[in-house]
Amino acid sequence: MFSIYRKFGLLILCAASIFTFRHFVLEHVIVFGDSMSGSFESGSVLLSRKYGLSNIDRFDVIVVDTGKHNVIKRVIGMPGETVSIYNDFVYINGTAVMGSYGSAPGGDNVWILQEDEYFILGDNRTNSIDSRSYGPVGSDKIRGKVIFQLFP
């Protein structure tokens, strides 16, 4: 009889461990839409780390809660920086962002980020709703940092 209780206890412990791991450590994310095309296509399955979100760096891909749903975007501007878009180019504190992350079609604008805000853009800039539309996102809206692509 003791072994049945022991097995049941082990089963409960495993279920609690899986629940804890899934809700507090890692989570899978499915990409919908083509705002990240070039990096992740619609239907891609990603693994997102939910802990250590204070270690977000420029150009990391993060999962953000917009209030309606989660989106996957790339970090361009860091807390305390000034991000400007002028003539379809991105500038951080007046310095042009070089490489493929330096372009952003659309109107000219300037955002001054608070100490807990990030400026995010989709990699497919012509087909992305991002900080250019809804402004910088607070650190409290960041749900995870993409660490691995599971599929394809």
Q: Is 73 part of the annotated catalytic residue set?
A: yes
Helix (H, G, I), strand (E, B) or coil at 13: helix
**Catalytic option among 44, 48, 73, 84:** 73
Residue 58 amino acid letter: R
CA distance 40 to 20: 28
- Asked if 119 contacts 134 with a C-beta cutoff of 8 angstroms, the reply is no
CA distance 52 to 55: 6
**Catalytic option among 3, 7, 17, 35:** 35
Q: Is 7 part of the annotated catalytic residue set?
A: no
What residues are annotated to the active site? 35, 73
